Structure 1
Amino acid sequence: MRAWILCMALAAGISPAFAQKPAAAPTEPAAQDLLAQVRQQLKDAPVVRGQFTQEKTVKGFKQPLRSMGDFLVAKGQGIVWHVRKPFASSLVVKPDSLQSRRADGSLSMQMRAEDEPVLRTVNAMLFAVMSADLVQLHHFFEVSGKAQASGWQMRLLPRDPMLAQWLASIELEGGQFVREVRLQEARGDSSLIRIEGAEAASQASDSELAQFR
């Protein structure tokens, strides 16, 4: 996940146009119907917690790179992505910054929106993907897919040409929560993130909120 976010930040950073939020795109009838059906299934919660497993497939390597851990998505605060295995680390994505921390909590990397203005837009896009924020997703991507009683699927194609040079597509599957995220990079690498045990909460704990300070 950290590699995905950093690559997206770098890709977006070379596009001045992407530093501004894309104008609201006209919603095609099919996409409008799909978003309405997905919205009916999604659970709108201030806080979502869960676990994840990730497989990163890199061209030239036979075996995928695997990691696992847990995450927190808090509206108005951001995302905390804890990698537990194979090496402990964490990534904190806030509206105005991105931080990478070592297992002991010490800071290993930090990017601020005041230094990298595009970061605010990138972080908004990441939050939209992880929380399936349908309005924001349609700002950043062309949306297609299907919805049925057992769940929904969406395919996202980036609207920004410079971002499309790195990111070919994102595929989301879910029900009340996002269950899978598939990232296909333009150069051939791909990632599959599976979300398990997702739970909604009305608020984050004090210790969880402390991670955003």
Structure 2
Amino acid sequence: MKCWPLICLLIAPWVHAVTLDELQQRFTEQPIVRAHFEQTRTIKTMPQPLRSQGEMLIARNHGLLWDQKTPFPMLLMLNDTRMVQQVNGQPPQVITADNNPQMFQFNHLLRALFEADRKVLEENFRIDLQNRDNAHWALRLTPITSPLNKIFASIDLGGDKFLETIELNDNQGDRTDIRLSQHRLTPVTLTHDEQQRFSAQ
């Protein structure tokens, strides 16, 4: 994403409303984004929320890396053909559309959320995009297709130049909040370690 000139920041309250096409364009102009994540899962039957944190990478033409550091190591890699999950150093689990279509659909959707993929979002959700102060936006997605509408009541996204918050509200009344910070656009190519993770079987 190109940095906004100072003048754009000053006149932001008078800039026209952000559209879904423009939002997708913003994210498309960010070939590689790295960020820190903090996730809080609130479950009605548990007295305390479950918290985790780590590093996230979304790379156009490659996929999504979700590298959880605490409370235990978990690495998730998702691309167009498979999802690979490795927990606490155990042998990786590979999920494809053939061996687990519902799980693969959900994880493919997760990548679409990070990329604001209009086609995927419009096929699966009723969309409500709101503009907040300055350049901030809020996007509420209400599932309209199965099995998503059987799992989620709504998915809320928010941010500015970057995606900053994700809130998953399920039909059981539980909620998952993800906050992204420390966004980085460099290096502009994958490191050797990142390339290895995307190519892992």
Quick check: TM above 0.5? yes
2:191 counterpart (205, 209, 213): 205
- Report the CA distance between 1:102 and its aligned residue: 3.1
2:149 aligned with 1:164, yes or no? yes
Task: Mark the structure with the bigger radius of gyration.
Answer: 2
Which residue matches 2:110? 126
In 1, are the aligned partners of 2:95 and 2:104 still within 8 Å (CA)?
no
Distance 1:59 1:212 in 2: 35
Q: What's the CA shift string for 1:96-149, capped at 9, x where partnerless?
A: 111111343x42422123433556544431111122223332222111031242
2:35 aligned with 1:50, yes or no? yes
TM-score (norm: length of structure 1): 0.76
Identical aligned residues as a percent? 27
Matching residue's letter, 2:189: Q
SS in 2 for 1:139: helix
SS in 2 for 1:107: coil
Distance 1:205 1:164 in 2: 38
* C-alpha distance 55-120 of structure 1, shift in aligned 2 (>3 A): closer
SS in 2 for 1:128: helix
Distance 1:96 1:41 in 2: 25
2:49 aligned with 1:64, yes or no? yes
CA RMSD in angstroms, aligned pairs only? 2.3
Q: How many residues are aligned here?
A: 181
Distance 2:153 2:33 in 1: 27
Distance 1:39 1:116 in 2: 28
- Report the CA distance between 1:42 and its aligned residue: 4.7
Q: Which has the higher contact order (CA 8 A, sep 6+)?
A: 1
2:177 aligned with 1:192, yes or no? yes
1:107 counterpart (88, 91, 113): 91
TM-score (norm: length of structure 2): 0.80
2:58 counterpart (56, 73, 79): 73
Which residue matches 2:131? 147
SS in 1 for 2:139: strand
Which residue matches 1:179? 164
